[in-house]
């Protein structure tokens, strides 16, 4: 199918997609306007629309409208409804400022129209509550299974699901475990950041290796969070705490287990686990 470039001067025929078309960058609009006034090449780069909704070219549209110039556009009417989200991803994946949080924001905002995207809304709320990166949030909401491939093309196409890919837990149980571990991680992280001496670096508590190790420790059947908090307080009071930046998940886990077990005479956690990198 050949796509035709069309022109239109009735700007009301175009609309923005809620959650996708972000707050316009006025500087970018001004740059495009100046370029159009010097040499109008808007026909060479038409905006992309689907049923009048702008998929690509928001700033070009706004610049042309401000100058009362025709809108050159290509209507992607051949797309199926379920292909629109993939088109959004493909048209914007090369934009340097298009990040994982933008995809999450898009699908979260669309969730009130389409329940297919409700998991993105939960993911967004999880990120905002626990102050973790999208990749870390997906790790929690995939039964602690996905990280490196968390933000893949499938995710950007709107197909993210809260699930245990091994099939051992229901989505509800995955959410429950994620919230349980995330709440405890948040408390440990905040205590370390506030409790360590000012000359000691604490950025490691926001890194994936530390988070992975603490998550596994928290899921140990013998784990008691109050005991962990008390043990960490003792370690923080030391001149040189044993919990410092490490290079691997295994080392973090070993240190955390050592700290935890130091206050337990029974029901200790495993002191060493093998992690898949």
What are 104-123's pLDDT values in tens digits? 887 887 788 789 899 999 99
Instruction: Put the strands of the sheet holding 5-8 in their side by side order.
Output: 5-8, 71-75, 47-50, 53-56
Q: What percentage of the chain reaches a pLDDT higher than 90? A: 44
**Which of the four pLDDT bands, split at 50, 70 and 90, describes residue 170?**
very high
Side-chain-side CA neighbours of 159 within 13 Å: the count stands at 9
* Residue 174, token pair as written in the block: 């995955």
pLDDT value, residue 63: 93
Tell me what the mean pLDDT of segment 10-24 comes to: 77
What are 207-256's pLDDT values in tens digits? 999 999 999 999 999 899 999 999 999 998 888 899 989 999 999 999 99
Name which of 87, 78, 81 is nearest 56 in CA terms: 87
pLDDT, greater one: 11 or 198:
11
- Whether residue 21 has pLDDT greater than 60: no
Of the listed ranges 44-58, 185-199, 237-251, the least confidently predicted one is 44-58
- Whether residue 93 has pLDDT greater than 70: no
**Which of the four pLDDT bands, split at 50, 70 and 90, describes residue 31?**
confident
Question: How far is the C-alpha of 112 from the C-alpha of 139, rounded, in Å?
Answer: 25
Q: What percentage of the chain reaches a pLDDT higher than 70? A: 91
Q: Collapsing DSSP states into helix, strand and coil, what is residue 156? A: helix
């Amino acid at each position: 199918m050949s796509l035709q470039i069309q022109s239109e001067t009735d700007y009301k025929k175009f609309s923005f997609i809620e959650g996708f078309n972000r707050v316009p960058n006025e500087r970018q609009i001004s740059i495009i306007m100046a370029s159009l006034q010097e040499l109008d090449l808007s026909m060479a780069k038409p905006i992309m629309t689907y049923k009048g909704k702008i998929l690509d070219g928001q700033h070009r549209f706004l610049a042309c409208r401000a100058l009362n110039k025709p809108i050159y556009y290509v209507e992607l009417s051949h797309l199926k409804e379920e292909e629109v989200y993939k088109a959004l991803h493909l048209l914007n994946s090369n934009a340097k400022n298009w990040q994982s949080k933008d995809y999450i924001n898009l699908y979260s905002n669309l969730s009130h129209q389409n329940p297919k995207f409700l998991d993105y809304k939960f993911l967004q709320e999880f990120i905002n509550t626990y102050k973790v990166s999208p990749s870390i949030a997906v790790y929690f909401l995939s039964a602690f299974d996905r990280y490196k491939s968390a933000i893949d093309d499938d995710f950007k196409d709107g197909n993210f699901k809260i699930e245990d890919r091994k099939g051992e837990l229901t989505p509800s149980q995955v959410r429950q475990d994620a919230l349980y571990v995330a709440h405890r991680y948040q408390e440990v992280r905040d205590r370390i950041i506030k409790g360590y001496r000012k000359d000691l670096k604490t950025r490691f508590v926001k890194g994936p290796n530390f988070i992975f190790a603490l998550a596994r420790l928290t899921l140990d059947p013998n784990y008691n969070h109050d005991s962990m908090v008390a043990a960490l307080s003792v370690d923080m009071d030391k001149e040189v705490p044993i919990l410092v930046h490490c290079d691997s998940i295994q080392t973090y886990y070993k240190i955390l287990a050592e700290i935890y077990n130091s206050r337990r005479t029974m029901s200790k956690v495993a002191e060493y686990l093998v992690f898949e990198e």
